[in-house]
Amino acid sequence: MHRITVVGGGFAGLTAAITAAEAGAKVTVYEAHHTLGGRARTAEGPYRTNEGPHALYNGGPHWIWLKQRDLIGPLAPIPPLEAARLRLRHHGVLRRTPPFALLKLLRPSVRQAPVDTDFLSWATGIAGEEGARAAANYSAVALFHHDPGALSAAFVQERLRRATKLPPEAHYPRGGWASVIDRMAARAWNLGVRIETLARVDTLPTDTPVVVATSLPAARRLLGDDSLTWPGGRTVLLDLALRTRRGDAFAVSDLDAPGWIERFTAQDRTLAPAGEQLLQGQIPIGPGEVRADGLARAEELLDLAFEGWRERVTWRREAVADGRTGAVDLPGSSWRDRPSVDRGDGVYLAGDQVAAPGVLSEVSFNSAVTAVSLILGRTALDLKHA
């Protein structure tokens, strides 16, 4: 029987643990925090917040894998009336529909974007500069980057298409992401996985293969490998609870600059006390900007889409997510160029900044399954459908 150690009890770590245990391995998971989940944790208390706006996309293999194991659980669908309240800021005013130039980039006939060209240059040739900038900024909902137009055209195009697909790919587990994590943890326990919380690992074991399913900076420190770097986004996160008012927007996307604010109680009333609604926003900021810059832009969106919000605030929390928003690929690079899963000497990486395809949490899933497949000598496809 294979013995495998997993460092990190987030989505990637639990995926690796379940996949390995289902294949007959004996698995131990070490998590430094007192609860599992990593960035997929949901806060306890009256306001059930995730770390920034979270959604589970159904277009990738992780959705099938989770659904086959009944790990997704109840979903909170967006009522049609609420979905109609999506608003877009363009030229400083709110719109109900995107500019026509942006729609040009979403036509099925548009060719696959190149890897080695920045998105703004490529998209300008199709939709003009204004349409290209609007599309780049809209894609920030799945990018968390202050300048999406400067990234690889192929990278941004994939996220733009996924974020605008109809019917929407984004789904919301009722109760927040912690509900999915709890079900994954329960399945891992039932499969015999040993899970140790408050167990920080400073030295890797040498008697078992190890899947390091932490953030890339944490993996870099643990492995002492300075090559484990990849650019990511830097984002101001804003959580607000407001007294309920009819007519508030469901979500507002900034097409003038990257930014997104969503009212999550529109689909899931369990996230806040009765009579209150929970908003979560993410505003990417550049290297020379500070939290106050992002908050100022967030409040501009709130002023437009949530009338009288300042007088309705019952709770507020702010944070900066630095390097915790997943990988972004610059022109000339793709997911294949990120730090490889197989680090040699029985050490493997899993997470959202390593060499695996997909969007958002799909990268963590695919890298975790790949790591286990390399350890066990089975194909990733076999393990996904085991």
> How does pLDDT run across 8-29, given as a tens digit for each residue?
999 999 999 999 999 999 999 9
CB of 136 closer than 8 Å to CB of 119: yes
Look at residues 127, 114, 217 and name the one whose alpha carbon lies nearest to residue 157: 114
**Tell me: the pLDDT tens digits for 223-237?**
999 999 999 999 999
* Cα(282)–Cα(140) distance, integer angstroms: 9
Place 384 in a pLDDT band, splitting at 50, 70 and 90: low
Q: What percentage of the chain has pLDDT greater than the value 90?
A: 88
Look at residues 220, 192, 208 and name the one whose alpha carbon lies nearest to residue 375: 208
Q: Give the chain's end-to-end CA distance (angstroms, integer).
A: 17
Q: Is the pLDDT of residue 166 over 90?
A: no
Report the pLDDT value the prediction gives residue 60, as an integer from 0 to 100.
Answer: 86
Instruction: Tell me how far CA of residue 319 lies from CA of 129, 282, 303, in angstroms.
Output: 32, 10, 20
**Of the candidate ranges 9-18, 321-330, 333-342, the one whose mean pLDDT is the lowest:** 321-330
The average pLDDT across 346-359 equals 95
The phi-psi region of residue 216 (left if phi > 0; otherwise alpha if psi is between -120 and 50; otherwise beta) is alpha
Topology of domain 3-74+175-229+332-384 in CATH is: FAD/NAD(P)-binding domain (3.50.50)
Phi, psi of 152 (to 5 degrees): -55, 135
Q: Is the pLDDT of residue 275 over 70?
A: yes
Neighbours of 188 (CB within 10 A): 26
Q: What percentage of the chain has pLDDT greater than the value 70?
A: 97
* Cα(208)–Cα(38) distance, integer angstroms: 23
pTM (2 decimals)? 0.94
**Tell me: the pLDDT tens digits for 231-262?**
999 999 999 999 999 889 999 999 999 999 99
Cross-strand pairs, 290 = none
Place 382 in a pLDDT band, splitting at 50, 70 and 90: low
Place 53 in a pLDDT band, splitting at 50, 70 and 90: confident
CB of 127 closer than 8 Å to CB of 97: no
Look at residues 303, 24, 95, 348 and name the one whose alpha carbon lies nearest to residue 211: 348
Place 172 in a pLDDT band, splitting at 50, 70 and 90: very high
* Cα(99)–Cα(349) distance, integer angstroms: 41
* Cα(223)–Cα(217) distance, integer angstroms: 10
**Tell me: the pLDDT tens digits for 54-71?**
888 998 899 999 999 999
CB of 40 closer than 8 Å to CB of 66: no
Q: Is the pLDDT of residue 323 over 80?
A: no
**Tell me: the pLDDT tens digits for 87-139?**
999 999 999 999 999 999 999 999 999 999 999 999 999 999 999 999 999 99
